Amino acid sequence: MQKALHEGVKRGDTVLEARGITKIFPGVIANHQIDFEIKAGEIHAILGENGAGKTTLMNVLFGLYQPDEGDIYISGQKVNFRSPLDAIELGIGMVHQHRKLVSAHTVIENIVLGHPRAGRVLDLKRAEVEVEELCQKYGFKIDFKAKVWQLSEGEKQVVEILKTLYRGAEVLILDEPTSALTPLETEKLLESIKAMAEDDLAIVPFITHKLPIVLAISDRVTVLRRGKVVASFETKDATEKSLAMEMVGREVIFRIKRAKVERGKPVLQVEDLSAISDKDILALKGVSFTVCEGEIFGIAGVSGNGQQELAEVLAGLRDAQGGKVTLEGKDITRSSSLERWQLGMGYIPADRIDIGSIGDFSLVDNTTMNYHFDKNYVRRGALDYRKIRQLTEQIITEYDVATPGVDTTAVCLSGGNLQKMILARVLSRRPRLVIAHLPTQGLDIGATEFVRNKLVEAKKEKAAVVLISEDLDEVLSLSDWVAPIYEGEFMGIIPGDDARRENVGAMMAGLHLQGEEI
Partner 1 sequence: MRLGSTELKLEKRLTLSGWQAALISVLAIVFALLIFSLIFILADVNPLIAYQKIFSYAFVNPHGLPLTVNRFIFLLFCTYAFIIPYRAGLWNIGMAGQFYIGALATYAVLYAFGAKSFNNSNLSPVVIIPLMLLAAGVGGAVLGAIPGFTKGKYNISEIVVTMMLNFLTFWLVAQMIKEGGLFMNPGGRGESFEMPASLHAPLIADIPFTIFLVLAFALLLYYMFAKTKIGYQIRAYGKNPAAARYAGISALKIPLLVFIMGGALAGLAGYHYFAAVPGVYKIARNYGYFGDLAFYGIICGLISQGNPLAAIPVAFLFAGMSNGGRFVQGELSLGFGIDYALLGVLMIALVAFQFFYRYSIVWQRTEKEISDVGIPN
CB of 424 to partner 1, least distance (A): 15
CB of 417 to partner 1, least distance (A): 17
338 binds partner 1, rule: CB under 8 A: yes
385 binds partner 1, rule: CB under 8 A: yes
Question: How many whole angstroms separate alpha carbon 419 and alpha carbon 451?
Answer: 8
CB nearer to partner 1: pick between 304 and 349: 349
Q: Of the ranges 160-168, 199-207, 271-279, 336-344, which one interacts with partner 1 (CB under 8 A)?
A: 336-344
Q: Which residue, among 244, 241, 218, has the nearest Cα to 45 in the 3D structure?
A: 218
Q: Which of residues 273-332 bind partner 1 (CB under 8 A)?
A: 315, 317
354 binds partner 1, rule: CB under 8 A: yes
Q: Which of 31, 97, 370, 441 binds partner 1 (CB under 8 A)?
A: 370
Question: How many whole angstroms separate alpha carbon 209 and alpha carbon 314?
Answer: 30
134 binds partner 1, rule: CB under 8 A: no
365 binds partner 1, rule: CB under 8 A: yes
CB of 32 to partner 1, least distance (A): 8
8 Å CB contact between 422 and 451: no
Question: How many whole angstroms separate alpha carbon 508 and alpha carbon 304?
Answer: 12
8 Å CB contact between 361 and 413: no
Q: Of the ranges 120-128, 150-158, 238-246, 361-369, which one interacts with partner 1 (CB under 8 A)?
A: 361-369
CB of 50 to partner 1, least distance (A): 22
3 state DSSP class of 68: coil
Q: Which of 349, 416, 484, 488 binds partner 1 (CB under 8 A)?
A: 349
How many residues bind partner 1 (CB under 8 A)? The answer is: 33
Beta-carbon-side half-sphere exposure of residue 149 (alpha carbons within 13 Å)? 7
Taking CB under 8 A as the rule, which mask of x and - marks residues 47-76 in contact with partner 1?
Answer: ---------------------xx-------
Q: Which residue, among 267, 260, 452, 436, has the nearest Cα to 356 in the 3D structure?
A: 436
Q: Which of 376, 382, 497, 502 binds partner 1 (CB under 8 A)?
A: 382
Mode of pairing for the β-strands spanning 494-495 and 481-486: antiparallel
Type of residue numbered 206 = F
230 binds partner 1, rule: CB under 8 A: no
Range 436-440 contact pairs with CB under 8 angstroms and sequence separation of 24 or more? 436/348, 436/465, 436/466, 436/467, 436/468, 437/307, 437/308, 437/311, 437/347, 437/348, 437/349, 437/350, 437/468, 438/350, 438/468, 438/469, 438/470, 439/348, 439/467, 439/469, 440/469, 440/471, 440/474
Q: Of the ranges 76-84, 89-97, 239-247, 339-347, which one interacts with partner 1 (CB under 8 A)?
A: 339-347
Q: Of the ranges 44-52, 105-113, 126-134, 333-341, which one interacts with partner 1 (CB under 8 A)?
A: 333-341
CB of 95 to partner 1, least distance (A): 25
CB nearer to partner 1: pick between 281 and 382: 382
Question: How many whole angstroms separate alpha carbon 215 and alpha carbon 207?
Answer: 11
CB of 151 to partner 1, least distance (A): 18
Q: Of the ranges 196-204, 219-227, 371-379, 453-461, which one interacts with partner 1 (CB under 8 A)?
A: 371-379
361 binds partner 1, rule: CB under 8 A: yes
Question: How many whole angstroms separate alpha carbon 380 and alpha carbon 57?
Answer: 51
347 binds partner 1, rule: CB under 8 A: yes
Beta-carbon-side half-sphere exposure of residue 458 (alpha carbons within 13 Å)? 36
343 binds partner 1, rule: CB under 8 A: no
Question: How many whole angstroms separate alpha carbon 149 and alpha carbon 369?
Answer: 26
Give the residues lining the site for partner 1 (CB under 8 A). Answer: 22, 24, 32, 68-69, 315, 317, 336-338, 340-341, 347, 349, 354-361, 365, 368-370, 372-373, 378, 381-383, 385
